[in-house]
């Protein structure tokens, strides 16, 4: 789609404002203190190294800008399909995507918001030994209800019928999405099991030319191992591009 220079300027200004809103670098809310921090730190918020007390995402400004860039690439290149995030916390990344679709003037594409909305599951140590020792299921801060995420979308004026909520554990819900088509798949499930469930059920639904984004690739070894195990199993050779200290992505070039 051809856009005028004036549109490009306005679009980028809106994107930057929306990123500042979902990351809350405007009002500078303090972190939850889960990692010991008590005061807002701009650098940590930029790189997603804190758990904000009020912001609608914890992935940081760098990964939000990358997400915005890849969404626009998919739209400009007319890559078929919708957009999905598996593991949404307060919904900020999905809110950003829905806002970008609105600003771009796309009238049809949907945003799938997939989460348990009850926090992370306990590790299945027998089937997924790489998750042994993970304790994220013990953090109540990671459990954000579906209704709260809906309210967060509504606060931006972005809650409509094109926001599709998928509630439940990935192993139970994602198989039903195998026949969908996605232009961007964003994974933020942290664990080996969650990452593998997302890739096994949704990778074939990603269009050629679409993007796969892994939020915890650098930070969590279990997630990184799941990515490489899946890529090895499927003989995926597309280069992995690092975003920051943890995020990474690749573009799907082959079926």
User: Among the listed ranges 1-10, 102-111, 145-154, which one has the minimum average pLDDT value?
Assistant: 1-10
Q: For the segment 12-35, what is each residue's pLDDT rounded down to a tens digit?
A: 999 999 999 999 999 999 999 887
Closest CA to 203 of 236, 169, 240, 163: 236
Quick one: pLDDT at residue 160? Answer: 98
Count Cβ atoms within 10 A of the Cβ of residue 230 and give its class: 0-12 exposed, 13-18 middle, 19 or more buried: middle
d(CA 177, CA 34): 34
Count Cβ atoms within 10 A of the Cβ of residue 60 and give its class: 0-12 exposed, 13-18 middle, 19 or more buried: buried
Cα torsion 183, 188, 192, 197: sign: negative
Topology of 62-251 in CATH?
Answer: Rossmann fold (3.40.50)
User: Which residues have a Cβ under 8 Å from the Cβ of 15 and sit 6 or more positions away?
Assistant: 68, 100, 103
For residue 98, pLDDT beyond 80: yes
Q: What percentage of the chain exceeds 70 in pLDDT?
A: 99
Question: Do 217 and 248 form a contact (C-beta atoms < 8 A)?
Answer: yes
Q: What is the pTM of this model?
A: 0.97
d(CA 187, CA 190): 8
H/E stretch holding 165 reads strand 163-167
Task: Give the mean pLDDT of 101-107.
Answer: 97
Quick one: pLDDT at residue 2? Answer: 62
Beta bridge partners of 222: none
Task: Give the mean pLDDT of 42-67.
Answer: 97
Q: For the segment 206-253, what is each residue's pLDDT rounded down to a tens digit?
A: 999 999 999 999 999 999 999 999 999 999 999 999 999 999 999 999
Task: Give the mean pLDDT of 159-176.
Answer: 98
Quick one: pLDDT at residue 33? Answer: 84
Quick one: pLDDT at residue 112? Answer: 99
User: Among the listed ranges 1-10, 28-37, 132-141, 178-187, which one has the minimum average pLDDT value?
Assistant: 1-10
């Amino acid at each position: 789609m051809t856009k005028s220079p004036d549109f490009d300027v306005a679009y980028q200004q809106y994107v930057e404002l929306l990123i500042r809103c979902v990351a809350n670098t405007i009002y500078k809310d303090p972190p939850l203190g889960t990692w010991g921090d008590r005061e807002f730190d701009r650098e940590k918020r930029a790189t997603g190294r804190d758990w904000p007390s009020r912001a609608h995402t914890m992935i940081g400004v760098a990964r939000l800008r990358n997400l915005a860039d890849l969404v626009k690439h998919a739209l400009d290149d007319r890559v078929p399909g919708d957009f999905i995030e598996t593991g949404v916390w307060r919904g900020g990344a999905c809110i950003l995507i829905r806002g970008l679709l609105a600003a771009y003037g796309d009238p049809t594409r949907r945003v799938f918001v997939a989460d348990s909305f009850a926090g992370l599951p306990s590790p299945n140590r027998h089937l997924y030994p790489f998750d042994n020792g993970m304790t994220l299921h013990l953090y109540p801060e990671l459990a954000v209800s579906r209704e709260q995420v809906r309210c967060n979308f509504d606060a931006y004026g972005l809650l409509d019928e094109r926001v599709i909520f998928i509630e439940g554990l990935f192993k139970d819900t994602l198989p039903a999405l195998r026949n969908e088509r996605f232009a961007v798949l964003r994974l933020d499930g942290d664990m080996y099991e969650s990452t593998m469930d997302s890739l096994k059920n949704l990778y074939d639904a990603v269009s050629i030319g679409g993007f796969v984004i892994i939020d915890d690739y650098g930070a969590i070894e279990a997630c990184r191992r799941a990515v490489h195990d899946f890529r090895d199993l499927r003989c995926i050779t597309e280069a992995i591009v690092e975003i920051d200290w943890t995020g990474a992505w690749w573009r799907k070039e082959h079926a």
